[in-house]
Structure 1
Amino acid sequence: MMDLVSGRFGRYFPCLADPARRSSIGLKAALVALHLVYAGVLFLCDADLIQKTKREPWYTALYVALFVVTLIQYFVTAGSSPGFVIDAMRAINEADTLFGTIGVAKHAASSKNGSLNLTVDSSQSARSGSTSWSKVVMELYPPGTQIRTFTCGYCSIEQPPRAKHCHDCDKCVLQFDHHCVWLGTCIGQRNHCRFWWYLCEETALGLWTVILYCSYLKTSIARAWWRDVIMILLLITLIIALIFLLLLLLFHSYLILTNQTTYELVRRRRIPYLRSVPERVYPFSQGICRNLYNFCCARTSITDLERLPTALEIEEKSRPYTCCDFLTCRCC
């Protein structure tokens, strides 16, 4: 009977047939419900807030606008791609194949009046296209690195530096940071900026909501005890969540300023290309200002890949800062 019901349910709602997608949709619905509960209880219980809304509608309008923008940012981040290695490989191979086809066509047109006849073997073109990604990846690693050291054992795809296979998504992710359960997707090169902005908006919304709850308890603590109990319980859980959000925001801000990922920071000793790098050295950092610019503005294409720094560059980064370095903005 249960199999029949689940079969009909999956036929009418195909998006909920997969248990993983069901769990992801359930988490999204729970998060939206939590937002609605905290805001709804506040507006239902706080009569002073309703009166303030009538006197100063702009105040409540700003709060509602932040509420809506935060939920929109959540769904945009959850639906965005973190940047998969397979997509970057296809983009580079297709661009290389297109460039080669255009070059051969121009060469054939220019030799139309001569005695040179050019033919293109389709199998040879396919083979050259399949090796384009391998050449790009090889150039990102120091000379002498073997292919098997950075080939994914699950996808059998050559991984560029900072990429990792996600077992939840079953794909290799560019500049892998972590897999977010609440978002139902990985955080990587293409959506890390969106994720940081979502944390900012969620933290601001939580802080504003805490202020509103404290204002209610300050003016209406003795009017109805059952309302006060509900508001106090909600306020305690909200403060705990706000502390977690604030710490997470500060942590990811530190990662952005130093051009690191959560995976690289936590598993530094287990990543082959980071084992020989000293603890206090950030091999991919280009200075605070450049890191911020690359994080916010420069990462527009999935084919923007970072190469591993050379031994001389790591040695330069290991050198302690001096007064002259600060004057010349070496840290920036």
Structure 2
Amino acid sequence: MLSAVSRPIRDSCAPVLDRCFRLVPCLADPARRSSLGLKAALVTLHLVFVGVIFLFYSELIEKTKHEPWYITFYLLLFVATLVQYFITSGSSPGYVLDAMRHANERNALFQKISTTSKQPASSKNGNMVITMEGSRSGRSFSGSNATSWTKLVLDLYPPGTSIRSLTCSYCNVEQPPRAKHCHDCDRCVLQFDHHCVWLGTCVGLGNHCRFWWFICEETALCLWTGVLYVAYLKANIALAWWKDVIMIMLLIILAIFLIFLLLLLLFHSYLILTNQTTYELVRRRRIPYLRGIPERVYPFSDGVCRNLYKLCCVKASVYNLERLPTAQEIEEKSRPYTCLDFLTCRCCC
């Protein structure tokens, strides 16, 4: 009976839904609808927590007249947090297919320049020299665009590595080190960290820095809002019981969010300083290129300063593919620290 009653309702709503899907095509995809719903819920939570304190805390409005900078900075932080959230959610984590297309385009460009320029005969053979992050010298590749990416990826692995073991069975493309296929995005991501449901995208090489800044701003906003809630309760407790109940409930929820954000901020700060990813840390024993490396050794770390520089200062459009360290480099990284190492800042540079 219920199905018989609901069928006319579905039939009457179908034209309206079809019209909405035509006007906003992204709503036709269930995954994108879910992502948009989560984003709307996150923005609503921000508006509720900030709006309630301005609605109930009348003394805050009076304080604004005497100290306008206080509320101005708070509102600027609120706007900056939301802007950073949308920037991060709309940024690319760095897809393997985009890096492959970028490498092939550069290879074609170098081939075109080398064949038209008047250089010695040794530079007219169509070779391309690509210097990758972590390599001490460039390596010359010859051949067509179809094989340039394969040779580039193989150069990042130890000699004798098979292409078949590197090829993603879903994207049918060779994965460089630290890349992983995301089943939510259905793409291979460079330096894959995790897939964030709230952002609706992966966190990887291209947006890890933006993700860290979003967490930092979100933590500061949550902490500042909690301070305002506590100030209201200290000044207005027992004046209106229903307001106190609402504020206490929101403060408890805010405290839970703050604890989670602080732990997340500390965790990702540790990952950035050691040049690791969440996937590599959690699945270290299952990742082939990390097997056999001691737990306390960070194979891709170049020191705190260089790790920060590579993450924050290198342009996002440049794909810095890191090669696997050699056995000699692993042995050097696993060497215990001495007093001289601390004096020479071995851990930083």
Q: TM-score, normalised by structure 1?
A: 0.93
Offset at 1:303? 2.4
Q: Report the equivalent of 2:260.
A: 244
Match of 1:230 among 238, 241, 246: 246
Deviations 1:151-200 (A, max 9, x none): 11100100000000011111100000000000000000010000000000
Matched, 1:98 2:109: yes
The amino acid across from 2:30 in the alignment is P
**Runs (4+) off by over 6 Å:** none
The amino acid across from 1:153 in the alignment is S
Matched, 1:15 2:31: no
The 3-state SS of whatever aligns with 1:212 is helix
- Paired residues of 1:83 and 1:302 also in contact (CA < 8 A): no
Matched, 1:136 2:147: no
Offset at 1:325? 1.2
Moved more, 2-11 or 209-218: 2-11
Offset at 1:17? 1.3
Matched, 1:210 2:226: yes
Distance 1:4 1:148 in 2: 49
Distance 1:179 1:145 in 2: 28
The 3-state SS of whatever aligns with 1:285 is coil
Offset at 1:300? 3.7
Deviations 1:9-63 (A, max 9, x none): 2112212111111111111110000000001100000011111012211111110
Distance 1:63 1:94 in 2: 46
Q: Report the equivalent of 1:41.
A: 52
Offset at 1:301? 3.3
Give the structure with the higher percent helix. 1
Give RMSD over aligned pairs.
1.8
Deviations 1:97-135 (A, max 9, x none): 11112222236x999xxxxxx9x9xxxxxx711111111
Offset at 1:292? 1.2
Distance 1:276 1:32 in 2: 45
The amino acid across from 1:104 in the alignment is T
The 3-state SS of whatever aligns with 1:219 is helix
Match of 2:94 among 67, 83, 91: 83
Matched, 1:153 2:155: no
- Paired residues of 1:221 and 1:228 also in contact (CA < 8 A): yes
Distance 1:233 1:40 in 2: 15
Q: Report the equivalent of 1:199.
A: 215
Deviations 1:248-302 (A, max 9, x none): 0000000001000000000101110001111111000111111111111125434
The 3-state SS of whatever aligns with 1:268 is coil
Distance 1:9 1:261 in 2: 40
Deviations 1:189-232 (A, max 9, x none): 01000000000000000000000000000010011000000000
Aligned pair count reads: 319
The 3-state SS of whatever aligns with 1:131 is helix
> Unmatched 5+ residue regions in structure 1?
112-117, 121-126
- Paired residues of 1:190 and 1:302 also in contact (CA < 8 A): no
State the identity as a percent: 70
Distance 1:155 1:320 in 2: 41
Q: Report the equivalent of 2:41.
A: 30
Matches for 1:37-76 after TM superposition, within 5 Å: 37-76=48-87
The 3-state SS of whatever aligns with 2:117 is helix
